[in-house]
């Protein structure tokens, strides 16, 4: 069964870093996420029931480029967007919490998908038959 992103609690990383804090109660747990600086790097740390855990994610920024209409400029304190790095090193703009298991991570770490990316049983069967037929054709050519 595929875990759907629509059923997970979504945490916007940029808003979290700008507000310097995020907290929520999920089940019996009080979860807190805090951005911290360690040397020249920024990390997002997790506290559960006011107890620090070893779980943390690396944070990075991307400058906002471009021009605004009518000669406007981007203020210096709003000139970057914050991201969290997933376990595979990709930058993501959101963390997700699975309320059923209290697991926290990016959609890559959850293996979650949007509902539109999930194929129906009929479409999966048709795709499987197509791949098998394609494989048979390729085997006959060799």
Instruction: Give domain status of residue 38, yes or no.
Output: yes
Contact in structure between 19 and 37 (CB atoms under 8 Å): no
Phi, psi torsion values for 67, nearest 5 degrees: -125, 150
Domain that holds residue 75: 5-116
Mention every residue, 6+ apart, whose C-beta is less than 8 A from residue 55: 45, 46, 104
Mention every residue, 6+ apart, whose C-beta is less than 8 A from residue 10: 94, 95, 96
Instruction: Give domain status of residue 121, yes or no.
Output: no
Instruction: Give domain status of residue 139, yes or no.
Output: no
Q: What is the percentage of the chain residues whose pLDDT exceeds 90?
A: 41
What pLDDT, in 10s, does the model give residues 53-100?
Answer: 999 999 999 988 877 788 888 777 778 899 999 988 899 999 999 888
Contacts of 35-40 with CB under 8 Å at 24 or more apart are 35/59
| Domains: count for the chain | 1
pLDDT at 133 over 80: yes
| Residue 118: per-residue pLDDT | 65
| Residue 74: per-residue pLDDT | 78
Instruction: Give domain status of residue 96, yes or no.
Output: yes
| pTM for the whole structure | 0.74
**Which residue, chain included where needed, has tokens 């006011």?**
50
Instruction: Give domain status of residue 111, yes or no.
Output: yes
Instruction: Give domain status of residue 134, yes or no.
Output: no
The number of helix segments (H) and strand segments (E) in the chain equals 3, 9
Instruction: Give domain status of residue 45, yes or no.
Output: yes
Instruction: Give domain status of residue 106, yes or no.
Output: yes
């Amino acid at each position: 069964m595929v875990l759907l992103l629509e059923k997970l609690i979504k945490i916007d990383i940029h808003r979290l870093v700008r507000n310097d804090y995020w907290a929520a109660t999920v089940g019996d747990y009080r979860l807190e996420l805090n951005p911290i600086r360690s040397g020249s790097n920024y990390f997002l740390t997790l506290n559960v029931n006011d107890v620090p855990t070893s779980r943390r994610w690396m944070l990075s920024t991307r400058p906002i480029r471009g021009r605004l209409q009518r000669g406007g400029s981007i203020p210096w304190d709003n000139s970057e967007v914050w991201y969290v790095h997933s376990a595979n090193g990709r930058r993501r703009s959101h963390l997700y919490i699975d309320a059923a298991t209290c697991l926290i991570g990016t959609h890559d770490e959850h293996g979650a998908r949007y509902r539109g990316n999930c194929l129906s049983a009929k479409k999966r069967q048709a795709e499987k038959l197509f791949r098998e037929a394609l494989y048979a054709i390729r085997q006959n050519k060799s």
